[in-house]
Structures are given as structure tokens and as C-alpha cells.
């Protein structure tokens, strides 16, 4: 890890934290999206004081974090990518927060994995606010039924909601919809906002923002 890389990452992190603090009080939790990042960048982010990280895939997350857990006991790992039911136990063992619950079958396998492992990561339901057929997430109309299944049949506690607005559409209406859905269901946590719109998300009530490129910088082409 070079001093230059650590300094650049620390400056970007400080700037983003300042923006979030100016946009909302309290500011949302900054999740550093470490998927596809090299070890040097992850070590620089850890050296800067960052302890909350997001990963898209269970296997890649294990490669990044399995051996770092002992050195950083205050790490908080969020799964922010789609989860296959056959990976539920691996996800429950590794992650502290799973943000992508989106169907009853997944609720059932997560509940079984929690019973087996004794770990109970916090859970968010991913809402497909744009109702895009190619994207994961429950539709807004299907949220209440999924919540009922998760709570009353699978016995899960749900902390909040997560969304990824459609590319090319203004994010604000999607953030507003997610906040409205959460309020209607008595949920207090909102994971929304990425590198291009994290300040806007904070203004709409995000409690967590997921930032990759704006935090780590553009990846150099091989």
C-alpha cells in the first residue's frame, strides 16, 4: 500500500463524510463498496478508519474479509448484491447485514441458516422501485405480503428497505417512494444512494448510503 493511495482515499472519505453531515442530521452510515477492489485499496480504506463495507457476492466477500475479521473486530459487512438461496448459510455466517431479501423462499432459507448457525444478521428488504423485470427486488405492491411472510412465517426481524433506482431516471422519486413504503410498514432504516446520488439520498432520509467509485476512485484499466 502506497502513502499516496492511502492519502487519496482518506481525502475522498473525509470529503464524502462532510457532504453527508451537511445534508442530514444524523448523517447516514457510509458503506464502502469494496467489490472488485484490490487488497491495496481495501487496506488503504481500513487505514483511513472505515469499518463498514459492502460486497455483492458471497464468495468474493469471503476472499476479501475472512482473514481480516480477527484484525478488525469492529468490521461491519453488508451484502448488497442478489443472494441465491443455496448461499444463505454462507451469507449468514459472513455478513452482519443482508440488504437483499426479496422473496419468501429466501426468507425461509435465511431463517433456517440463522437457526443452524446461531447468527442473526440484520435484514433489509430490497424493493424494485422501478419494477424493472431484469432487476432483483420485490415490487412495491408485493412488499406487504413479503414482510408478512418474513415476520410471521419465517420469524425474521426486518430492519429496513433498500433500493437501486433505474439507470437514466431521476433518483429522487424512487427515494421518496422507498421512504413512504418504509414509513407505512413501520421500518426505520433506508439503504439508498450510491456514488452519483448519495447526497440526494441523505436529503430523502437515507440511513445508509452505498458508495464505491466516489470513495475508492476509478479503477485503473489493466
| Mean pLDDT confidence for 45-54 | 97
* pTM greater than 0.85: yes
Mean pLDDT of 197-204: 98
As a whole number of angstroms, the distance between CA 58 and CA 19 comes to 30
pLDDT of residue 3: 77
Q: How many CA atoms lie within 13 A of 24 on its CB side?
A: 20
pLDDT at site 218: 78
Phi, psi of 104 (to 5 degrees): -60, -40
Report which secondary-structure segment, H or E, holds 176.
helix 172-184
Beta bridge partners of 7: none
- Say what percent of the chain tops pLDDT 70: 97
Would you give the distance in Å from CA 103 to the centre of its chain? Answer: 17
- Coil vs helix vs strand at 173: helix
Cis, bond preceding 26 (omega within 30 deg of 0): yes
Residues comprising the chain, all counted: 222
Model confidence pLDDT, tens digit, residues 50-109: 999 999 999 999 999 999 989 999 999 999 999 999 999 999 999 999 999 999 999 999
Read off the pLDDT of each residue in 195-212 and give the average, rounded to a whole number. Answer: 98
pLDDT higher than 60, residue 220: no
What mean pLDDT value characterizes the chain?
A: 95
Q: Which residues pair with 178 in a beta bridge?
A: none
**Whether the Cβ atoms of residue 50 and residue 79 lie closer than 8 Å to each other:** no
Crossing angle of helices 3-23 and 39-47, in 10° steps, is 60
How confident is the model at residue 222, as a pLDDT? 33
- CB neighbour burial string for 15-37, b if at least 16 within 10 angstroms, e if fewer: ebeeebeebbeebbbbbbbbeeb
- Is the pLDDT at 1 greater than 50, yes or no? no
On the question of pLDDT at 221 being above 50, the answer is no
- Contact criterion met (CB below 8 Å) for 125 and 138: yes
pLDDT in tens, 115-143: 999 999 999 999 999 999 999 999 999 99
**Half-sphere exposure in the Cβ direction for 11 (13 Å, CA):** 7
Query: DSSP character for 127?
Result: B
Pairing outcome for strands 97-101 and 122-126: parallel
Per-residue model confidence (pLDDT) at position 219: 62
Amino acid at each position: 500500500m502506497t502513502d499516496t493511495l492511502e492519502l487519496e482515499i482518506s481525502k475522498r472519505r473525509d470529503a464524502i463524510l462532510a457532504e453527508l453531515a451537511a445534508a442530514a442530521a444524523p448523517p447516514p452510515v457510509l458503506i464502502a463498496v469494496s467489490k472488485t477492489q484490490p487488497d491495496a485499496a481495501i487496506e488503504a480504506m481500513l487505514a483511513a478508519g472505515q469499518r463498514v463495507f459492502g460486497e455483492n457476492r458471497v464468495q468474493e466477500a469471503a476472499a476479501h474479509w475472512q482473514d481480516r475479521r480477527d484484525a478488525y473486530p469492529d468490521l461491519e459487512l453488508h451484502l448488497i448484491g442478489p443472494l441465491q438461496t443455496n448461499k444463505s448459510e454462507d451469507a449468514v455466517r459472513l455478513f452482519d447485514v443482508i440488504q437483499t431479501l426479496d422473496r419468501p423462499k429466501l426468507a425461509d432459507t435465511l431463517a433456517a441458516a440463522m437457526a443452524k448457525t446461531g447468527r442473526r444478521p440484520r435484514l433489509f428488504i430490497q424493493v424494485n422501485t422501478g419494477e424493472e423485470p431484469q432487476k432483483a427486488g420485490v415490487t412495491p405492491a408485493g412488499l406487504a405480503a413479503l414482510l408478512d411472510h418474513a415476520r410471521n412465517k419465517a420469524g425474521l426481524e426486518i430492519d429496513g428497505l433498500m433500493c437501486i433506482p433505474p439507470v437514466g431516471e431521476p433518483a429522487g422519486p424512487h427515494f421518496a417512494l422507498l421512504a413512504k413504503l418504509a414509513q407505512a410498514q413501520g421500518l426505520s432504516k433506508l439503504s439508498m444512494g450510491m456514488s452519483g446520488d448519495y447526497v440526494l439520498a441523505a436529503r430523502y432520509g437515507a440511513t445508509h448510503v452505498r458508495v464505491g467509485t466516489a470513495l475508492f476512485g476509478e479503477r485503473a484499466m489493466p
